[in-house]
Amino acid sequence: MEDDEEGESLPVGAASSPSSMCRPQARSAMNPNPNLNLTPTPTALNYVSSVLDEIALEGLDGITMEALVQRVKRRANGGGERGERGERGERGERELGCPCRACPLDVERCTQFVWRVAIAQPGVAFFQLPADRGALEIFDRYQHIDSDLGVVVEPDIVPEELYPFELVDDAELGIRGSCKDYKARKDVTRAARKIPMAEAAFEQFGRMRLVLVASQELRNESLLGPHPDPLLVDLLTPMEFCILERVGRARGHGEVTQGKISLQFMKESAKSLFYLRKRLLKHGLMSKQIHYQKTRGQNFQGLLFHLPRFYVERRSKAQTMVHSLVTFLKSRPPNFMAQYDEVKKFLGLGNSAKKLFKHAEFLKYIQGDVKVTYRTVFPNATEREWRSKPRPGVDSADSPREKMVI
């Protein structure tokens, strides 16, 4: 079980829009349409700023075009943060022929649109990897839920980890993050910007070897918010930045502290991760909440982290039922008690009630197996009722029925 950081509170909602995550850039000489302004603005949500944000969120490892198109389409269809698009954003989509919203299944047109946007941005660099990277498979742990209590169940087979952890702290260039191929990959930015067609670039550099990497400034803004405090940026250690980078890459799904796909992949001790996370939470750079997960048949309690702008409250079915039960018991003064049968009927549970009564969230707020006299619960009972012989298997031998008490 993870220790809970003290003195931190969760935000009540998203803190900012993705359109403000990218610093305005000067118009590039490689703009495929000189009359079209491809500058991302903080006041309008358009696909230009969305593309830049998705590249930046993927971190120093960069993102392949296949994965970038998948991310942009998911965002366009409501799978990412959204906001209001200004007039310039709408015009830009029309002039570039953006198919992401009009025809989500047109991968070829969307790929070409994203490529034209990317080569026009001075804050995006292009690298060729020494070997092909695997295809991106977005893992949604909330598609694997226990039917009784709604707890996340980790599947036996999970997607391949595309981004092995390796700390990078290049003081000379001011670059930090995590990237295994940082020294092995080849910078092909100048050559890539001269290629107007995405397919031609794939033929020259390799479809799954060509990656797009956002500048350090853009990555800072995606993780820390628009116009981040330079003192706060310098205050972060390289390892803290890597944790923030991994949490940001998870977007709305968030990153957890246990399981095969979690912060444990960084191979750091639980104690070190605790203090690293504590500093990030202290400065409000990420949010946290309790996370319940079942792994190999065992229930675990850990933490779930989001960037503040991607925060989504996650409450399991067990947490919802415990909240309802506490409200139900509070409505029964002065003793705030109820019989087991009443509780089962109220929650609509059968045999699965035993699982709930053993759940950590239930034991935290509710006490069961409490023995009290009959007239404590039924003060108006007649003498014959409270003196009656106990029912076999229901009442105890020397006291009345068992109750639940909050």
- Within a domain: 373: yes
- Among residues 248, 281, 313, the one where a domain terminates is 313
Which amino acid is located at 57 in the chain?
A: L
Please give the pLDDT value at position 185. 97
d(CA 252, CA 102): 24
Q: Could you tell me what percent of the chain has a pLDDT over 90?
A: 45
Q: Can you give the pLDDT at residue 289?
A: 94
Cβ-Cβ contacts under 8 Å for 158 (sequence gap 6 or more): 139, 260, 261
Is 76:101 a contact under the CB 8 Å cutoff?
A: yes
151 belongs to a structural domain: no
| pLDDT score recorded for residue 389 | 53
Mean pLDDT of 207-221: 96
Together in a domain, 123 and 246: no
Judge if 262 and 309 occupy the same domain: yes
pLDDT at 100 over 70: no
Domain of residue 306, CATH code: 1.10.10
Q: Same domain for 195 and 300?
A: no
The answer to whether residue 289 is domain-embedded is yes
Give the C-alpha separation, 203 to 128, whole Å: 12
Residue 253 lies inside a defined structural domain of this protein: yes
Q: Does residue 275 share a domain with residue 204?
A: no
* More confidently predicted of 243 and 367: 243
Residues 165, 203 within the same domain: no
- Tokens 């079980």, residue located: 1
Which residue has tokens 């969307």? 110
Query: 360 CB contacts (<8 Å, ≥6 apart)?
Result: 292, 299, 301
Residues in the chain: 406
Q: Are residues 189 and 174 in the same domain?
A: no
Average pLDDT on 152-162 reads 91
Quick one: which of 322, 288, 326, 330 has its CA closest to 305?
288
Final residue of a domain: which of 280, 313, 346? 313
* Residues 219 and 293 placed together within one structural domain of the fold: no
Find all residues with CB under 8 Å of 8, minimum gap 6, and list them: 281, 282, 288
Angle, helices 107-119/198-205, rounded to nearest 10 degrees: 80
Residue 367 pLDDT: 83
pLDDT at residue 35 tops 50: no
pLDDT higher than threshold 80 for residue 223? yes
Average the pLDDT over 12-23 and give the result. 34
Residue 20, pLDDT above cutoff 80: no
Q: Domain check: are 245 and 307 in the same one?
A: yes
- Residues forming beta bridges with residue 170, ordered by sequence position: 175
7 DSSP assignment: S
Residue 126 CB-density burial (10 A; 0-12 exposed, 13-18 middle, 19+ buried): buried
Let me know if residue 369 belongs to a domain: yes
The verdict on 48 and 165 lying in the same domain is no
Q: Do residues 81 and 117 share a domain? A: yes
Cis omega (within 30 of 0) for bond into 400 = no
Q: Do 281 and 343 fall within a single domain?
A: no
What is the reported pLDDT for 36? 38
Is pLDDT above 80 for 18? no
Are residues 288 and 167 part of one domain?
yes
Domain boundary at 296, 313, 330, which?
A: 313
In a domain, 237, yes or no: yes
302: domain range?
A: 160-181+229-313
Is 355 within a domain? Answer: yes
Whether 123 is covered by a domain: the verdict is yes
**Burial (CB count within 10 angstroms: exposed 0-12, middle 13-18, buried 19+), residue 375:** middle
What single letter denotes the amino acid at residue 316? S
Instruction: Please provide the average confidence, as pLDDT, over all residues in the chain.
Output: 79
Q: Is 304 exposed, middle or buried (0-12, 13-18, 19+ CB in 10 A)?
A: buried
Helix spans in 22-133 (H): 47-57, 65-74, 87-96, 107-119
State how many domains the chain has.
3
* Segment among 75-89, 152-166, 203-217, 295-309 with least mean pLDDT: 75-89
